[in-house]
Amino acid sequence: MKVPLLDLKQQYASIKDECLAVTEKIYESQHFIMGPYVEKLEEEIAGYCGTRYAVGVSSGTDALLLSLMAAGIGHGDRVITSPYTFFATAGSIARAGAVPVFVDIEPETFNMCPERLKGFVGSMDKKERRSVKAIMPVHLYGQCAEMDAINAVARENDWIVIEDAAQAIGAEYKGQRAGSIGDFGCFSFFPSKNLGGFGDGGIVTTNSEVYYEMLHILRVHGAHPKYYHRYIGGNFRLDAIQAAIVSIKLARLDKWTAARQKNAARYRKMFADADLSGILRCPEERQDRHIYNQFVISVENRRDQLRDFLQAAGVGCEIYYPVPLHLQDCFAELGYGYGQMPVSETAAAQTLAIPVYPELNVDQQEHVVAQIRSFYK
């Protein structure tokens, strides 16, 4: 039996007619960049996330970079973030000209640890605090970070908060949707996210009119009006085809999220029934609405061999992420070393994402669990 990590072909089959109809309209119009489909999606996403504004952009990475630029963060500034995330989080900080500063995660959720954040900020002197401009928490795998503590630290120091919500559209923290809790929310429509397009795309949410205007201006090279540049922005535009496809999918997102949550709950039960609790740990579901972009287990022993074994048995799985960002070659200049972010380092050595996509069925889940059990037998 084959169990892929994600089966987008099955999802496509369920929306194919609508997708073909809308793309044909766009081909006929020959209006590909921005326009009414992008504006419609921006309204829908703002509504879905509970924010006043949303600005469609070219990718999740660009959503992060554009937010930093709109907040005026650049050379000489520092931004606190998590070392255990996709590269783009810290990469965008560095590309904005700022310096990423890492705070380790909690082992149960893989999100930034509020106690470590408080301890770290408490140990900074005044000058260091002044050089920090923002905190960029990541809602990893689809579960919100501890936003009360993060927002409190940010407010005390006059820092802004940029949520990397690329994996967390629709996730909730105390009744608030991801992307509506900080100053900016950054989302990705990369095909493997819960709400993916047919190519690259992303969106930024905000409640601030000032930031909204800056996002708008910087998205088109800082032009305002056209051909008059007070700022240097970039080409951060979203195209009509991506916006139209994402709109079609957004109408089904809650149904797909519910299916992911059901699959996650079923794994927990299956792993408990299979008596695997001593060997593997399931992720802790701490916040109200975990949307399970990934279901990530941790195993103390032989993680890489388990991955190879599962892949050979036709079970899709992946290590997210094998090298924490403080140990990446490109950040060697920052001066971090092994041992400084122990929870992230352990996670990088022990975690494995297994299939949790909406169309996954019980037989497939049983197969996944049986293969893991047979590996450890």
Ligand X SMILES: *Cc1c(COP(=O)(O)O)cnc(C)c1O
In the complex, what is the shortest distance from the CB of residue 157 to ligand X, in angstroms, rounded to a whole number? 24
Q: Which is nearer to ligand X, 5 or 270 (CB)?
A: 5
Least Cα distance to 76 among 96, 61, 90 occurs for 96
Regarding 190 and contact with ligand X (CB under 6 A), the answer is yes
Question: Taking the complex as a whole, how short is the minimal distance between the CB of residue 362 and ligand X, in angstroms?
Answer: 28
Environment class of 259 (CB within 10 Å of its CB; exposed 0-12, middle 13-18, buried 19+): middle
246 binds ligand X per the rule CB under 6 A:
no
3-class secondary structure, 3: strand
C-beta of 69: minimal distance to ligand X in Å?
A: 15
DSSP 312-372: HTTB--B-S-SS-GGGSGGGGGG---TTSSHHHHHHHHHEEEE---TT--HHHHHHHHHHH
The 3-class secondary structure across 105-155, one letter per residue, is: ECCCCCCECHHHHHHHHHCCCHHHHHHEEEEECECHHHCCCCHHHHHHHHH
Among residues 11, 61, 194, 263, which is the contact residue for ligand X, using CB under 6 A?
A: 61
# binding residues, ligand X (CB under 6 A): 15
Q: Does 110 bind ligand X (CB under 6 A)?
A: no
Which of 7, 42, 77, 164 lies at the binding interface for ligand X (CB under 6 A)? 164
- Tell me which of 67, 143, 167, 287 binds ligand X, using CB under 6 A: 167
Please identify the residue of the shown chain whose CB is closest to the bound ligand X: 60
**Closest CB to ligand X among 162 and 279?**
162
Q: Is 166 in the site for ligand X (CB under 6 A)?
A: yes
Residue from 51, 143, 188, 242 in contact with ligand X (CB under 6 A)? 188
Nearer to ligand X, 51 or 188 (CB): 188
On the 0-12 / 13-18 / 19+ scale of CB atoms within 10 A, 316 is middle
Reduced to 3 states (helix: H, G, I; strand: E, B; else coil), residue 93 is: helix
Interface with ligand X (CB under 6 A), residue from 11, 81, 85, 287: 85
Q: Is 150 in the site for ligand X (CB under 6 A)?
A: no
The answer to whether the CB of 202 falls within 8 A of the CB of 59 is: yes
Distance CA(96)–CA(230), nearest Å, equals 18
Of 67, 89, 247, 350, the residue at the interface with ligand X (CB under 6 A) is: 89
Question: Which of 11-19, 57-65, 144-152, 337-345 is the region at the interface with ligand X (rule: CB under 6 A)?
Answer: 57-65
Interface with ligand X includes 359 (CB under 6 A)? Answer: no
Q: Which residue lies nearer to ligand X by CB, 153 or 166?
A: 166
* Nearest-approach distance from CB 17 to ligand X, in angstroms: 27
Q: Residues 199 to 228: which contact ligand X by CB under 6 A?
A: 200, 202
Q: Is 143 in the site for ligand X (CB under 6 A)?
A: no
The string of DSSP letters for 250-281 reads HTTHHHHHHHHHHHHHHHHHHHHHTT-TTTEE
Region of residue 302 (phi > 0: left; psi between -120 and 50: alpha; otherwise: beta): left
**Residue 86 makes contact with ligand X by CB under 6 A:** yes
> Alpha-carbon distance 227 to 217, whole Å?
11
Shortest approach of ligand X to residue 212 CB, angstroms? 21
Q: In angstroms, rounded to a whole number, what is the distance separating the alpha carbons of residues 153 and 116?
A: 12
Residues that bind ligand X (CB under 6 A): 59-61, 85-86, 88-89, 138, 164, 166-167, 188, 190, 200, 202
